[in-house]
Structure 1
């Protein structure tokens, strides 16, 4: 008879990571870093390799590590081809965080890694993302690489926030409706709700608020408009808002 200590326990399934990065040198570095994380299986490639892995081999991708550029189009293609969507997505970029990429319709990215940071910080970020329990709502609440929620994000629903993010990029109602597969009238209704929730008076206030959020120029929504009119950053925000308003 085997003792309790000899009884095998069910092994924890490995975390499956897929790396989609166009730069071969950077991709190799990320793959090598992830390979050093215990109980992790890492694959690399583009769409064909992902489809082969998730489709024919029926492998669930726990984490997609991808270039921020083209990530949304990549996920859209997976959706169109009926490939399984990764449980969570970590974006890699150089410099500024890809803000709008936190709000694509496949769920928010769990974070992003700035490749300009020291290698130790990049490795730590990858470790946290690979081993993170992303929870019920796709977000890594305890992960330091995740952009913290502002008061604005706490006021808006995920769909409203996605629309607000697209407004910040100069995308107009018709194009937003096309991206989300709804009518323009529905988008206008959401825009009205956003203005009401944020205490914005008109279309121009909405555009200015969206651009200010994208530029990271405010923390509390209630102080937004007065800050833009009186603060030192007002001219920069207005200039960006004037350009963005063309498409909104």
Structure 2
């Protein structure tokens, strides 16, 4: 990914995020104490994905009581969900983030590629707002806390089914604050050149200087020079630190890192 593509992606994500805030505010203002009727030709078909059986059954029980919704299947992780989608044909995949084998973000990215008509809604306990931009980048249409009341979850399902975005008001507010803080912190960090970003991506992917040089069609000494400049600019002098930075900036996905670097991002 070159610098221009990365900057365009970040810009598009930011625009989408602020539009989502506006959509969420409107939805929250219009909230009614009684269920909102679902105006569809049939019930909204939902696939519930969570690695805890008790949680899945609780969600199913809650949703099945709502008019216009039907739970067509359950899955314990992303891989199982991908196998079920062709058979159960859901309109909305309601998924947790932390799951074995394939987590919610990786599932969302796979659904976007393989089943573009299926909408994904994240339902999680995560309060860490750094996930919000990653969720938007993955292609998810919304994020609702597991602590939300059933009415809010119903509104979120209806919104994403219509092709809109929906974020819980508290999550959207915290994410906005995080974005403002991140922008302020980023302004103090020297900008990497497009070539330096390419080298950083290679480092995060676990490539050697020789492999990065072959990929970019440059000499090994050139890669070594870029590597040194990157470390000096960012004030980061370990591969683990550079990898975490690359993931945080959206240059690489944690799901696509080699095992040793993936571990480094979560340490």
TM-score range, shorter chain: 0.3 to 0.5
TM-score by length of 1: 0.46
Q: Higher relative contact order at CA 8 Å, sep ≥6: structure 1 or structure 2?
A: 2
TM-score by length of 2: 0.43
